């Protein structure tokens, strides 16, 4: 086995086989707790041993195994790899400076930035700063869609090898200074990273998953810096900030200085029985304007019903997508290329889709599946382009909900703070619902 493939990695190894030289051996279980995921969900083996059920999707680990690692040696050159020559705004530059200061202090920092703030670009100076100091860097995100969105942007910005890891992605693992991966991949690292960036930290499946939180904590070095990125921080993150256990940078302004589109709410009848006229009117407008659009629905079973509505009234090409769709990544690429004009989707696309001139409908926005954070994230899909910093976010409901009202209020608050940054008058409330 190539030694560098074990630098900062955590690999299962049969106890009955002598491990390679230089490797450190760790127990697979301590007091019945899996040392890869930190959980105690077990299934019995025939020899009275057991294996872990919680992290089984990362390969079986049992009492017949141990874990191998080689301490991270940081065998990198102290040189710059940044070739991005864009310009940060004054507010972005301040956040970037805050991040580099936190890295020097090896402290953790929350970046609360409105969707469309340009948080990826704000990270570039920090990443390069760490790389120049021979630090190893990981950018982790809960969803594959976001990995696929970020990969080409990072590859364009940095001229060093970037290891991209997710699910069943077929590329063979190579030791690299810069890693982009889903949060599940943290289960395969051990004390590897000097700088660990978690994008969309509040997103499923990372949020509320004790195994992933354990893995991320173990993937970072003892002396390291973690950056949490989100537009919708959890109550736990806010509490840590309030307790001064977590530094915070706040950016309510989008990179193009425009505001986050407010959710426009309209009541409709039973949309599962009849296509709402307000939906068809909006779609016809976007078809005429040749704008791409997303239609969010609460359940997978709603996808075909709504898609059939549209197929009866429109001849433009679109399709459906959901979390277990094996062609999901390809369908999103086809939307970006213009091969599809629209997607009917579940909340799986609430994050990670950035497209100019995109419009959005949330059908059944009063359904319990649409949390306040999800609605704010969905609104953030719209108005991402400097050439078109606005657009429509239409929520069609049968009954008002507190979550929807809270989402509108959060957007209003963000926009008011953005106006304060820009020195323009603010609004006193989120506005009336129709």
| Residue position matching structure tokens 């065998």 | 75
So what's the pLDDT on residue 168? 67
The model carries a pTM of 0.90
So what's the pLDDT on residue 428? 54
Residue 332 has pLDDT above 70, yes or no: yes
Rounded CA gap, 230 and 326, in Å? 27
Rounded CA gap, 306 and 214, in Å? 40
Mean predicted lDDT score pLDDT of the chain: 94
Tell me the pLDDT tens digit for each residue of 196-252.
Answer: 999 999 998 898 899 999 999 999 999 999 999 999 999 999 999 999 999 999 999
Q: Which of the four pLDDT bands, split at 50, 70 and 90, describes residue 167?
A: confident
Rounded CA gap, 9 and 324, in Å? 28
So what's the pLDDT on residue 425? 74
Count how many Cα atoms sit within 13 Å of the Cα of residue 165 in the half-sphere of its side chain: 23
Rounded CA gap, 195 and 206, in Å? 18
Residue 433 has pLDDT above 60, yes or no: no
Residue 62 has pLDDT above 50, yes or no: yes
Rounded CA gap, 196 and 160, in Å? 17
So what's the pLDDT on residue 357? 94
Q: Which of the four pLDDT bands, split at 50, 70 and 90, describes residue 422?
A: confident
Q: Which of the four pLDDT bands, split at 50, 70 and 90, describes residue 423?
A: confident
Question: Helices 277-289 and 300-313 meet at what angle, rounded to 10?
Answer: 60
Rounded CA gap, 167 and 356, in Å? 28
User: Terminus-to-terminus CA distance in the chain, angstroms?
Assistant: 64
Phi then psi for residue 354, to 5 deg, are: -120, 120
Using a 10 angstrom Cβ sphere, with 0-12 exposed, 13-18 middle and 19 or more buried, the burial of residue 174 is: exposed
The residue among 262, 264, 259, 261 whose CA lies nearest residue 415 is 259
Rounded CA gap, 97 and 5, in Å? 33
Lowest mean pLDDT among 104-118, 225-239, 420-434: 420-434
User: Which pair of structure tokens corresponds to residue 40?
Assistant: 């105690």
Cβ partners under 8 Å of residue 360, min gap 6: 293, 294, 295, 296, 378, 379, 381, 382, 391, 392, 393, 394
Residue 431 has pLDDT above 60, yes or no: no
Which residues pair with residue 412 across a beta bridge?
none
Residue 378 has pLDDT above 80, yes or no: yes
Pairing, β 29-30 against β 33-34: antiparallel
| Residue position matching structure tokens 């004009």 | 341
Per-residue pLDDT, averaged over 1-29, amounts to: 94
So what's the pLDDT on residue 424? 75
Alpha-carbon separation of residue 40 from 153, 267, 394 (angstroms): 38, 47, 44
Q: Which of the four pLDDT bands, split at 50, 70 and 90, describes residue 432?
A: very low
Alpha-carbon separation of residue 211 from 73, 136, 216, 323 (angstroms): 26, 23, 9, 21
Rounded CA gap, 390 and 262, in Å? 10
So what's the pLDDT on residue 100? 99
Domains located in the chain, CATH noted: 3-69 (no CATH), 90-251 (3.40.50.300), 263-422 (3.40.50.300)
Residue 134 has pLDDT above 60, yes or no: yes
Residue 315 has pLDDT above 90, yes or no: no
Tell me the pLDDT tens digit for each residue of 387-412.
Answer: 999 999 999 999 999 999 999 999 99
Lowest mean pLDDT among 71-75, 303-307, 310-314: 310-314
Which residues pair with residue 145 across a beta bridge?
none
Rounded CA gap, 228 and 170, in Å? 28
So what's the pLDDT on residue 2? 86
């Amino acid at each position: 086995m190539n030694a560098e493939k074990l630098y900062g990695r955590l690999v299962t190894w049969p106890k009955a086989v002598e491990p390679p030289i230089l490797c450190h051996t760790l127990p697979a279980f301590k007091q019945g707790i899996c040392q890869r995921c930190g959980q105690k969900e077990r299934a019995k083996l025939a020899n009275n041993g057991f294996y872990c059920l919680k992290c089984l999707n990362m390969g079986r680990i049992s009492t017949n195994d141990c874990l191998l690692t080689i301490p991270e040696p940081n065998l990198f050159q102290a040189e710059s790899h940044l070739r991005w020559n864009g310009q940060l705004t004054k507010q972005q530059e301040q956040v970037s400076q805050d991040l580099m200061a936190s890295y020097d202090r090896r402290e953790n920092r929350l970046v609360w930035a409105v969707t469309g703030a340009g948080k990826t670009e704000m990270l570039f100076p920090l990443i390069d700063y760490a790389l120049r100091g021979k630090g190893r860097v990981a950018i982790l995100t809960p969803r594959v869609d976001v990995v696929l969105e970020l990969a080409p942007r990072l590859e364009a910005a940095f001229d060093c090898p970037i290891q991209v890891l997710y699910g069943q992605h077929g590329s063979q693992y190579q030791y690299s200074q810069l890693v982009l991966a889903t949060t599940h991949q943290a289960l395969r690292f051990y004390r590897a990273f000097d700088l660990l960036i978690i994008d969309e930290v509040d997103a499923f499946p990372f949020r509320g998953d004790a195994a992933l939180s354990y893995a991320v904590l173990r993937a970072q070095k003892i002396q390291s810096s973690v950056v949490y990125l989100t537009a919708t921080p959890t109550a736990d993150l806010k509490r840590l900030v309030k307790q001064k256990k977590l530094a915070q940078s706040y950016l309510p302004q989008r990179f193009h200085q425009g505001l986050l589109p407010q959710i426009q709410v309209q009541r409709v009848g039973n949309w599962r029985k009849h296509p709402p006229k307000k939906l068809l009117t909006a779609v016809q407008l976007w078809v005429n304007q040749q704008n791409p659009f997303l239609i969010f629905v609460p359940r997978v079973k709603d996808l075909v019903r709504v898609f059939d509505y549209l197929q009866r009234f429109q001849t433009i090409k679109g399709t459906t997508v959901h979390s277990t769709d094996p062609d999901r990544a390809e369908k999103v690429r086809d939307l970006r290329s213009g091969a599809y004009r629209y997607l009917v989707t579940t909340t799986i696309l609430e994050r990670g889709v950035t497209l100019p001139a995109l419009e959005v409908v949330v059908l059944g926005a009063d359904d319990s599946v649409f949390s306040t954070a999800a609605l704010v994230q969905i609104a953030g899909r719209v108005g991402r382009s400097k050439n078109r910093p606005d657009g429509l976010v239409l929520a069609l409901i049968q009954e008002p909900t507190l979550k929807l009202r809270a989402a509108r209020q959060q957007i209003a608050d963000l926009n008011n703070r953005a106006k304060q940054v820009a020195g323009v008058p603010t609004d006193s409330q989120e506005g009336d619902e129709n």
